[in-house]
Every structure is written in structure tokens, then in C-alpha cells.
């Protein structure tokens, strides 16, 4: 049993961090919540009560409708693309072939780079100019005789946001690979050996044993990537600047608040983003911590 | 024989994907090393005729002050949040106080929130305490929002240290801080490396906090680069060289300390 004095001493040691997080995370969320229910517009704070009006206005706002749609498209393509590519790479590398380390390093390095750098480079790779000004990947496709691949990238009407998922997949699929690889290595070899002895084909082992065992890993990765895609912001900005067809809630919040000075609406978008992330993350945290062995 | 051939076939998709990953690096470098007169969007994919540094020099001249801002901001941010994380992790793994099991997930949640949900109060708060516009406010922000991940990493590491080690030291009369200082701190150097480079990378690559909290003369390099990319005046070849300069510090960390970088990344996934 721990003494009272020790209890206090240990509490005091983490108290500065607890206070910092209490203020900067929970205090600020509450403060944002309050702003989102105010009519604050302009440089001077104005906390005149407005109830849920800012939220109601958002739900009938055409720009916010575009944002929600773009987030959905982006999330589906980004999460699915990263998962599939990550899983395939992990399965290939798990065969224990030569040069595994080099490949792993190549697939992971984009994780170390900022979205801004990725965005600036991909902005030139996905240059939509046509005719004699064709450049970037379109020019490469042309040179390789792959003309059918030439497209307008993020300037494609209606589906432009899908092109933004490409650099995002480039950046994050290595992360999926690393987590899948760790998951694969945790599967005991005996399990696969036993199946082989019983005459199972490699495909049967994969679909009957390996993939089902990887299901919890897949769920974790989906949640992590899903919450990232809800927050996507700087990548879009660096690829395309501020363009309505490629708008997402995080960009809308930033612009409407700091360019438009419509603080009430900006805070409402922030809170909606938080709620959508919380729906994913809270059960995940609860599950992860509960299933961990007692210290 | 067929065994060998099928193994060889595995390399085809791997090499194809590796090329996809390296294309942006190829373009960045090939463009960077071209002379100004050689630069043309039409010949974007061609190798340079010689090694020239025009673009890098131009990009460096434009970005140097912001590069220093980033360095001055990132180092204290990474060091201080690592120290805090280590203390928190120690207590939450070895000296759980009443309610620690509730506090821990509450701290962790801070790692996942979209920062748009705290941005307005953050700016107002920094204005009130007179840290708005400068680097110290940005440093403080990175330290505080870094606490969840640093705490998590250290807690998970200290949890693997046998309880008996701490109990034995207690019987010998060592106190809480003594045990930390003499026993746990010396063996947690690898964890410090993991957390330091993770925080370094996070703060270096951040854009959102920097763009709302700092005034133009205090911009870190990511904000300056984005600004440069959005301008019509700076040529794309200089933008490419600037991108490379911005990516270089974190890339070097990745190349030389990749093993630690990977561990930091896995910690973010909680279960790893």
C-alpha cells in the first residue's frame, strides 16, 4: 500500500503537466464551445449568446456541404489506399527477401517530411497545364506512352479532392506498412507451419489465418488514418492554395476565423471537427487502455 | 528453381512502389542541381548537365532567417516536452497516485484533438500573456501539446522496468526522485532519443500553430516555404530547392536515427 505522503509527492510531480493539459486542452475546448455559441464577429471578442445558431447556419451552408462531401471522398480514398498499399508492402517484405531494410527505409521516409514540403513538390508533379505547357507527371506519362493516365489532377471538376489523396497516400502508406509488418511478425510461425503441413495453400493461409489475425491492427490503423484525414489541412493548402472546390472543414475554420474574423462560426466548425474525431478516438483509447495488462 | 524465380518476381512490385516513393525526391534534386538557364518545365524530368548550386543558394538566401527561427523554436520545444514526458511517464508507471488511471487517458486524448477546436482560445490566451507573434509562444504551445505523446512513450517504457528494481531501492531508503535520477534516468537514454527526435520532427513540420501564432519575421521555415510557393515571383525551381532545404533536417534525422524514429512513430499507435 502506498503511503499518503508518496501519493501526494507523485501527484505534485505531474501536477504542472496536468494543469497545462487541463487548461490548454479541456479549458480551451470549453472556451471554443462558448465562442461557438456567441455572435463574435470582428476583432473584438463579443460573447453575446447566440445559442446553436452558428451550428444551424453551418448545416444549411453550401460551403460546409462541399467540405463534408470532400472530407468523405478524401477519407475513403486515403484510408483505403494507404491500408491496401501498406498491407501489400508488408506482406511482400514479410517474405524475408534480401534488401528488406532498404525497401522499408524508402517506404517510410515520407513520414519524416512536412505536409507543406510534400504539398509544394506534388503541386508541380500534379501540374494540370495542358498542350505545350504540359509538365509534371502528365509530361512523364506522355513520354512513357501512357497518355490514358494524363488527367487534370486536383483541378478535375467535382472529383479534384481525390487527387489530393495521392500525396497523402504517398506520405502515410509507409506507416501502415510498418504497423502491419509489426503485426505480421507477431503471428507465431508455428501457426502457418501447421497449416502448411495440413496441406493449406499460401492463399488459404493468407485469407484464413493471417488476415483474420490482422483485423485488430487494421482497425487501429483505420482509426488513426481516419482521424488524420478529418484534420487534413496544410497538404491541401500547399498543393492548391485556398480553393473552394477543394475546401475541407479545417481550412474553412482557419479562413473564416482569421481572414473573415467570423469567430463564432470558426469555433463551431472546430467543435464539430472535435466531435467527429472524438467519436473515433474515445472508444479506441478506452479499448486500447483496457486491454493492456495491469502494471 | 521455380521457388527462386517466384521470389525474384516479388521484387517487381517492390521496385515499382519504390520508384513511386522516390519520384518526388528525384524531381526535387534534379531540379535543384540545374543551372538557372537549364530550368524549364518541359525538361523537368531530364538530368542536369552539370552540378550547379544556383537554386539552393537562391533558396537558402530567401529562407535562411526562417530556418534559424525553426531551429531556435524546435530545440527548446523538443527538450522541455521530453523532460516533462519522462517525469510524467515515471510517475504514471511506477508511482500511481489515486486517480492516475483516470488522468492518463485524459492526457492522452490531447494528442488526437483537431487543433482547430482550441485555436481561437489559444490565440486569445497568447495575446493576454503577451506571447502572441513571437517564438516563445510557439515553443510553449509545442511543449504543452507534446505532453501527451511524450508521456505515453515514457510511461510505456518505464512500465517494462521490473517493479522489484524500484521496490529494492525503496527498501534501501531511496526516495522517489532519487530512484528516478539514479536508476531510471540512466537507462532511459534510448527513450529520450526516441522522444526527442519525434518531437523535433513534429515541431519542425508543424504549420498550423506557426501560421496563427507567429508574425512574419518569426515564421518558421514551413510557413515561409508555403508563402514562397504561393507567390508568383519565386520560380518553381527555387521552390523545389527550398522544399529540399526544409525537408533536409528531418530527413537527416531519419537517415541517421531511423530506428528511433520508427519507435516514436509506433508509440503514436498506442498498441504498436
Nearest by CB to residue B97, choosing from A10, A121, A292, is A10
More confident call, B270 vs A73: A73
A10 within domain boundaries:
no
Name the residue among A130, A160, A124, A240 with its Cα closest to residue B230. A240
CB pairs under 8 A between A and B: 274
Q: Residue B44 domain-assigned?
A: yes
Mean pLDDT of chain B: 91
- Please check whether residue A116 touches B, CB under 8 A: yes
Cell reading at B165: 528494481
Return the axis-axis angle of helices B135-159 and B119-128, rounded to nearest 10°. 120
User: How far does the CA of residue A162 sit from the closest CA of chain B (Å)?
Assistant: 18
Number of domains chain A is built from:
1
Chain B closest CA to A80's CA: distance in Å? 17
B111 and B202 part of one domain:
yes
Number of domains observed in the structure of chain B: 2
- Record: contact A285-B270, CB cut-off 8 A: yes
Local structure of A58: helix, strand or coil = helix
Let me know if residue A86 belongs to a domain.
Answer: yes
Taking the Cβ of residue B70 and every Cβ of chain A, the question of whether any pair is shorter than 8 Å is answered with no
Which among B190, B200, B188 is positioned nearest to B253, based on CA atoms? B200
| Position A4 in a domain | no
Taking the C-alpha atoms of residue A290 and residue B175, their distance in angstroms, rounded to an integer, is 30
Closest residue to B88, CB basis, from A14, A32, A45: A14
Contact between B228 and B43 (Cβ < 8 Å)? no
Cβ contact, residue pair B95, A2, below 8 Å:
yes
pLDDT recorded at residue B272: 34
Where in the sequence is the domain holding A272, given as residue range(s)? Answer: 20-290
Residue A147 within any structural domain of the chain: yes
pLDDT the model gives residue B8: 83
> What pLDDT does B43 receive?
85
Contact residues on chain A for B10, CB-CB shorter than 8 A: 92, 95, 97
> Do residue B152 and residue B34 come from a single domain?
no
- Looking up residue A162, the CATH number of its domain turns out to be 1.10.3720.10
| Range A42-66 average pLDDT | 96
Please work out, in degrees rounded to the nearest 5, the angle formed at the alpha carbon of residue A238 by the alpha carbons of A234 and A242: 85
B47 plus B64 within the same structural domain:
no
Clarify whether residues B240 and B163 are in a common domain.
Answer: yes
| B5 and B122 both lie in a single domain | no
Q: Could you say which residues from 19 to 48 on chain A have a Cβ atom under 8 Å away from some Cβ of chain B?
A: 20-21, 24-29, 31-32, 35, 45
User: Are B87 and B181 in the same domain?
Assistant: yes
B72 CB within 8 Å of a chain A CB? no
For residues B104 and B85, what is the distance between their CA atoms, to the nearest angstrom? 12
Distance from CA of B53 to the nearest CA of A (A): 19
Domain that holds residue B165: 56-267
- Same-domain status, B102 and B175: yes
Q: How far apart are CA A234 and CA B132, in angstroms?
A: 21
B9–A contact, CB cutoff 8 A: no
Measured in whole angstroms, the distance separating CA B244 from the mean position of its chain's CA atoms is 16
pLDDT tens readout for residues A124-177:
999 888 887 888 899 999 889 898 898 999 998 889 999 999 999 999 999 999
Examine residue A274 and state whether it is found in any structural domain, yes or no: yes
Q: Is A85 at the interface with chain B, CB within 8 A?
A: yes
Q: What pLDDT, on a 0 to 100 scale, did the predictor assign at position A113?
A: 94
Q: What's the confidence (pLDDT) of residue B269? A: 63
Q: Mutation test of the interface with chain A: which of B20, B114, B157, B239, choosing the one with the most A Cβ atoms within 10 A?
A: B114
Q: Which of A173, A168, A166 is nearest to A90 (CA)?
A: A173
- From chain B, the residues in CB contact with A100 under 8 A are none
Q: Do the Cβ atoms of B14 and A89 come within 8 Å?
A: yes
Q: What is the ipTM score, two decimals? A: 0.92
| Residues A179-226: tens digit of each pLDDT | 999 999 989 888 888 998 898 888 899 999 999 999 989 998 999 999
DSSP SS3 for B214: strand
Contacts of B253 in chain A (CB under 8 A): 112
pLDDT, position A129: 86
A chain contacts of residue B230, beta-carbon cutoff 8 Å:
241
Asked if residue A67 has pLDDT above 50, the reply is yes
**A-contacting residues in B 86-105 (Cβ below 8 Å):** 87-88, 90-93, 95-98, 100, 103-105
pLDDT band at A272 (very low <50, low <70, confident <90, very high): very high
* Residue B138: inside a domain: yes
> Using a CB-CB distance cutoff of 8 angstroms, which residues of chain B are in contact with residue A263?
120
Residue A6 belongs to a domain? no
Q: Is the residue at B36 inside a domain? A: yes
Give yes or no: residues B38 and B61 share one domain: no
Q: Which of B52, B67, B83 is the last residue of a domain?
A: B52
- The helix or strand, by DSSP H or E, that contains position B110, with its residue range, turns out to be none
At B270 the pLDDT is: 53
Q: Do A270 and B116 touch (CB under 8 A)?
A: yes
CB contacts under 8 A, B 42-61 vs A, are 42, 44-45
- Grid cell in block for residue A112: 519524416
- Give percent of chain A above pLDDT 90: 70
B18·A103 Cβ contact <8 A: yes
Asked whether the beta carbons of residue A124 and residue B236 sit closer than 8 angstroms, the reply is yes
- Contact (CB, 8 A) for A125 and B24: yes
| C-alpha grid cell, residue A227 | 482521424
Cβ neighbour number for residue A130 with a 10 Å cutoff? 10
Interchain proximity B113–A25, CB inside 8 Å: yes
> Is A29 within 8 Å of B118 when comparing Cβ atoms?
yes
Please give the C-alpha separations between residue A235 and each of A116, A167, B37, B58, B208, in angstroms, as whole numbers: 6, 8, 30, 24, 11
Residue A103 has pLDDT above 90, yes or no: yes
Nearest beta carbon to residue A182 from set B124, B176, B272: B272
Distance of alpha carbon A283 from alpha carbon A293, whole angstroms: 18
Q: Which pTM was predicted?
A: 0.93
Taking Cα atoms as reference points, which of B142, B272, B238, B193 lies closest to residue A175? B272
Nearest to B24 among A122, A174, A253 (CB): A122
Q: Taking a C-beta distance cutoff of 8 angstroms, is the pair B153, B92 a contact?
A: no
A220 belongs to a structural domain: yes
Q: Do residue A116 and residue B11 have CB atoms under 8 angstroms apart?
A: no
Interface check for A258 against chain B (CB to CB < 8 A): the answer is yes
Radius of gyration over every alpha carbon of chain A, rounded to an integer in angstroms: 24
Does residue B77 share a domain with residue B30? no
Asked if residue B272 belongs to a domain, the reply is no
The answer on B230 and B132 residing in a single domain is: yes
A84 touches chain B (CB under 8 A): no
Q: Does B253 touch chain A (CB under 8 A)?
A: yes
Question: Which residues of chain A does B125 touch, with a Cβ-Cβ cutoff of 8 Å?
Answer: 28
Rounded-to-integer distance, Cα B172 and Cα A169, Å: 54
Tens digit of pLDDT at every position of chain B (272 positions): 456 677 788 899 999 999 999 999 999 999 989 888 888 888 889 998 888 898 999 999 999 999 999 999 999 999 999 999 999 999 999 998 888 889 999 999 999 999 999 999 999 999 999 999 999 999 999 999 999 999 999 999 999 899 888 889 989 888 889 999 999 999 999 999 999 999 999 999 999 999 999 999 999 999 999 999 887 777 888 999 999 999 999 999 998 988 888 887 777 665 43
A276 in a structural domain = yes
- Is B104 in the same domain as B8? no
Residues B260 and B160 occupy one common structural domain: yes
B240 min Cα distance to partner chain A (Å): 7
Residue B83, class by beta-carbon neighbours within 10 Å (0-12 exposed, 13-18 middle, 19+ buried)?
Answer: middle
Give the DSSP per-residue string, A75-136: HHHHHHHHHHHHHHHHHHHTT--TTHHHHHHHHHGGGGS-HHHHHHHHHHHT----GGG--H
Q: Which of residues 170-189 of B touch A (CB under 8 A)?
A: 176
Nearest by CB: B176 against A9, A112, A233 = A9
Amino acid at each position: 500500500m502506498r503511503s499518503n505522503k508518496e501519493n501526494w509527492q507523485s501527484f505534485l510531480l505531474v501536477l504542472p503537466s496536468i494543469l497545462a493539459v487541463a487548461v490548454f486542452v479541456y479549458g480551451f475546448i470549453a472556451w471554443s464551445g462558448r465562442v461557438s455559441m456567441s455572435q463574435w464577429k470582428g476583432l473584438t471578442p463579443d460573447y453575446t449568446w447566440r445559442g446553436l445558431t452558428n451550428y444551424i447556419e453551418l448545416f444549411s451552408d453550401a460551403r460546409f456541404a462541399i467540405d463534408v462531401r470532400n472530407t468523405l471522398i478524401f477519407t475513403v480514398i486515403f484510408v483505403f489506399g494507404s491500408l491496401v498499399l501498406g498491407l501489400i508492402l508488408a506482406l511482400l517484405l514479410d517474405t524475408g527477401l534480401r534488401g528488406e531494410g532498404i525497401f522499408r527505409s524508402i517506404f517510410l521516409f515520407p513520414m519524416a517530411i512536412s505536409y507543406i514540403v510534400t504539398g509544394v513538390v506534388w503541386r508541380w508533379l500534379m501540374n494540370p497545364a495542358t498542350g505545350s505547357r504540359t509538365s509534371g507527371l502528365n509530361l512523364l506519362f506522355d513520354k512513357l506512352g501512357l497518355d490514358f493516365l494524363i488527367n487534370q489532377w486536383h483541378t478535375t471538376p467535382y472529383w479534384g479532392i481525390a487527387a489530393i489523396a495521392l500525396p497523402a497516400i504517398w506520405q502515410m502508406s509507409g506507416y501502415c506498412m510498418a504497423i502491419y509488418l509489426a503485426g505480421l511478425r507477431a503471428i507465431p510461425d508455428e501457426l502457418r507451419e501447421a497449416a502448411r503441413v495440413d496441406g493449406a495453400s499460401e492463399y488459404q493461409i493468407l485469407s484464413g489465418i493471417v488476415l483474420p489475425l490482422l483485423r485488430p491492427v487494421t482497425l487501429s490503423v483505420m482509426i488513426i488514418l481516419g482521424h488524420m484525414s478529418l484534420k487534413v489541412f496544410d497538404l491541401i493548402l500547399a498543393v492548391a492554395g485556398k480553393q473552394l472546390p477543394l475546401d475541407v472543414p479545417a481550412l474553412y475554420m482557419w479562413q473564416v476565423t482569421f481572414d473573415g474574423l467570423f469567430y463564432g462560426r470558426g469555433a463551431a466548425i472546430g467543435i464539430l471537427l472535435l466531435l467527429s474525431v472524438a467519436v473515433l478516438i474515445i472508444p479506441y483509447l478506452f479499448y486500447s487502455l483496457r486491454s493492456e495488462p495491469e502494471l | 528453381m521455380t521457388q527462386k524465380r517466384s521470389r525474384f518476381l516479388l521484387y517487381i512490385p517492390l521496385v515499382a512502389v519504390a520508384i513511386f516513393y522516390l519520384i518526388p525526391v528525384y524531381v526535387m534534386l534534379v531540379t535543384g542541381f540545374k543551372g538557372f538557364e537549364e530550368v524549364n518545365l518541359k525538361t523537368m524530368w531530364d538530368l542536369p548537365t552539370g552540378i550547379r548550386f544556383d537554386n539552393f543558394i537562391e533558396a537558402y538566401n530567401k529562407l535562411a532567417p526562417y530556418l534559424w527561427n525553426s531551429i531556435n523554436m524546435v530545440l527548446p520545444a523538443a527538450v522541455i516536452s521530453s523532460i516533462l514526458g519522462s517525469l510524467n511517464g515515471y510517475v504514471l508507471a511506477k508511482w500511481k497516485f489515486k486517480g492516475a488511471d483516470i488522468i492518463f487517458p485524459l492526457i492522452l486524448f490531447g494528442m488526437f484533438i483537431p487543433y482547430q477546436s482550441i485555436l481561437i482560445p489559444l490565440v486569445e490566451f497568447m495575446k493576454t500573456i503577451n506571447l502572441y507573434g513571437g517564438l516563445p509562444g510557439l515553443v510553449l504551445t509545442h511543449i504543452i501539446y507534446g505532453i501527451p505523446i511524450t508521456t505515453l512513450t515514457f510511461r510505456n517504457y518505464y512500465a517494462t522496468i521490473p517493479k522489484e528494481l524500484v521496490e529494492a531501492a525503496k527498501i534501501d531508503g531511496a526516495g522517489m526522485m532519487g530512484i528516478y535520477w539514479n536508476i531510471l534516468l540512466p537507462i532511459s537514454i534510448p527513450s529520450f532519443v526516441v522522444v526527442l527526435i519525434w518531437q523535433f520532427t513534429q515541431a519542425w513540420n508543424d504549420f498550423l500553430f506557426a501560421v496563427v501564432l507567429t508574425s512574419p519575421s518569426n515564421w518558421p521555415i514551413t510557413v515561409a516555404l508555403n508563402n514562397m510557393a504561393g507567390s508568383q515571383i519565386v520560380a518553381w525551381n527555387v521552390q523545389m530547392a527550398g522544399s529540399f532545404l526544409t525537408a533536409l533536417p528531418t530527413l537527416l534525422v531519419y537517415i541517421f536515427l531511423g530506428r528511433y524514429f520508427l519507435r516514436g512513430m509506433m508509440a503514436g499507435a498506442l498498441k504498436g
